[in-house]
Amino acid sequence: MMELTRRTFLGSGAALGAAPTYAANDRIQVGVIGAGARSHELMAALLQHQGAEIVAVVDAYKGRLERALDRVKGRAKAYKTYQEVLAQKSIDAVLVVTPDHWHRKMALEAIAAGKDVYCEKPLTYKTSDGLEIIQAARAARRIVQVGSQGMSSPTQRRAKEMIRAGKLGKVTLIRAAYNRNTASGAWIYPIPPDASPQTVDWEMFLGPAPKRPFSLERFFRWRCYEDYSGGIATDLFVHLCTTIHFLMDAKAPAKALALGQLYRWKESRDAGIPDTLNAILEYPEGFVVNLSSTFNNQTSAEGSFQILGTEGTITLGGGMTFYPEMAVEDNRWIVESWPRALEDAYYRDPKVRQTEVVDSWKPRVVEGVQQFQEQGLEATVIHLGHWLDSIRTRKPYWEDALAGHRAAACAHMVNLSAHQQRMVEWDFARDDIKRS
């Protein structure tokens, strides 16, 4: 058992970048746009960095806003609109932690206001949004980092080192899954008892989305509705594809084919948001990916991730395990059907004897199973640290707007394929889905 601790990560992963540290002074002033459950996790993680201070918060539900101010011990100011936050010259950067349909508009306006941006995944509601954000960030020289934090973890960075070093040989297949079996896992979240038109700003929530009658279900369970989210693909598959692109130095899948259905969780949900989804992605770098998710079974653990190579396999989930390949040629069952003279001649061949005859096998030195347990800072804390480091150095982190755009594109390709029941292709010249 090898412990992949914070110390060993920083000592061995310098080539891939290490989590930064800051002095207590010269803090980056951060505004938080959206204060839902994930935002509270991000705020808690950001507060672990002495180099940042949360000074502004805005949300469409008064209860979340109240809890956010409590979390930062009253040191932040509550604002009525996100535009008021962006107008504050003293604010250096913002967290955009809102439903997906808001990401493009808020990111573009934040960039135009001279703010650096941390946007929760997926970066985009549709692929063309990503191209606009990339162009705007480059033109304004703003930092945009996307919040799929797993690739900042010591585990995934160690896995990348092993793949680069050839420990797995040629990787041709990756299997990745997220499975759940609860109402909350299917985004049927509890609604606060005080939620009402008096405590929820419905128009602020809708923004660029289609106009709808007031609905607490839509507000608090927005991932279940196509107006605001791409469901499983944009919530979960984006994490998986971010990791795949990071580990494999891949850009985007050339082709995607997917099927999905809504079998069980039909409460508070659009019919077009499945609770079971499967997809195949083919990459020009020379490997294929199987993605799957169901909200109807969790026996085989919540998530699984397998990278299969000719020399070994890596599994991710609660740490990392490396399994060496032990394949040995053995054609006895085939050759025994030949005429005896041909069988005898086959085994007299020196090459056959070296590879297939047990008593003449050469000793093989094969490393055994290696397990790595992660300790130290949680990945979100490290990921936000990289964002703060980029703000100071003006050097973008790996998961910039381009990486976020392409990871989200996987989800959009999967959803389009499932909805239209056809194969979807990526146009690498346009960096967008190929027009049909």
Mean pLDDT, the chain cut into blocks of 10 residues (436 residues total): 39 39 70 98 97 97 97 95 98 98 98 98 98 98 97 96 97 96 96 98 98 98 98 98 98 98 94 97 98 90 83 92 89 96 96 85 73 91 97 97 98 98 97 93
Residue 202 within a domain: no
Contact 23, 48 (CB under 8 A): no
Task: Tell me: do 278 and 421 sit in the same domain.
Answer: yes
Task: Tell me: do 90 and 182 sit in the same domain.
Answer: no
* Overall number of domains in the chain: 3
Write the DSSP assignment of 277-297 as a string of letters: EEEEEEETTTEEEEEEEESS-
DSSP letter (8 states) at residue 139: H
Task: Tell me: do 161 and 308 sit in the same domain.
Answer: yes
Give me the pLDDT at residue 366, please.
63
Contact 184, 220 (CB under 8 A): no
Rounded CA separation 101/105 (Å): 8
Residue 406 within a domain: yes
Rounded CA separation 129/230 (Å): 14
Rounded CA separation 282/425 (Å): 10
Residue with tokens 């039909």: 266
How many other β-carbons are positioned within 10 Å of the β-carbon of residue 88?
A: 17
The dihedral over CA atoms of 317, 388, 79, 75, expressed in degrees to the nearest 10, equals 100
Lookup: tokens for 56: 């502004």
Q: Which of 143, 132, 37, 45 lies closest to 94 in space, CA to CA?
A: 143
Rounded CA separation 123/102 (Å): 10
Give me the pLDDT at residue 300, please.
64
Task: Tell me: do 309 and 342 sit in the same domain.
Answer: no
Q: Which domain covers residue 419, as residue numbers?
A: 152-194+226-326+368-376+401-433
Task: Tell me: do 69 and 187 sit in the same domain.
Answer: no
Task: Tell me: do 128 and 258 sit in the same domain.
Answer: no
Q: What share of the chain is helix, strand, coil (3-state, %, to 5)?
A: 40, 20, 40
Residue 206 within a domain: no
Work out whether strand 303-309 and strand 312-316 pair parallel, antiparallel, or are unpaired: antiparallel
Domain containing residue 372: CATH number = 3.30.360.10
Give me the pLDDT at residue 6, please.
37
pTM: 0.92
Task: Tell me: do 85 and 164 sit in the same domain.
Answer: no
Q: Which of 152, 154, 158, 117 lies closest to 134 in space, CA to CA?
A: 117
Residue 244 within a domain: yes
Task: Tell me: do 146 and 161 sit in the same domain.
Answer: no
Task: Tell me: do 360 and 428 sit in the same domain.
Answer: no
Task: Tell me: do 311 and 417 sit in the same domain.
Answer: yes
Work out whether strand 255-261 and strand 276-283 pair parallel, antiparallel, or are unpaired: antiparallel
Task: Tell me: do 17 and 110 sit in the same domain.
Answer: yes
Residue 203 within a domain: no
Contact 250, 283 (CB under 8 A): yes
Distance from CA of residue 227 to its chain's centroid? 21
Domain containing residue 95: CATH number = 3.40.50.720
Give me the pLDDT at residue 375, please.
85
Q: Which of 362, 355, 370, 356 lies closest to 312 in space, CA to CA?
A: 370
Q: Which of 87, 141, 136 lies closest to 113 in space, CA to CA?
A: 87
Give me the pLDDT at residue 224, please.
98
Residue 101 within a domain: yes
Task: Tell me: do 236 and 353 sit in the same domain.
Answer: no
Ordered strands of the 28-33 beta sheet: 77-78, 52-58, 28-33, 93-96, 116-120, 144-147
Give me the pLDDT at residue 2, please.
40
Give me the pLDDT at residue 267, please.
86
Residue 6 within a domain: no
Give me the pLDDT at residue 302, please.
52
Residue 212 within a domain: no
Write the DSSP assignment of 192-221 as a string of letters: PTT-STTTB-HHHHHTTSPP----HHHHHT
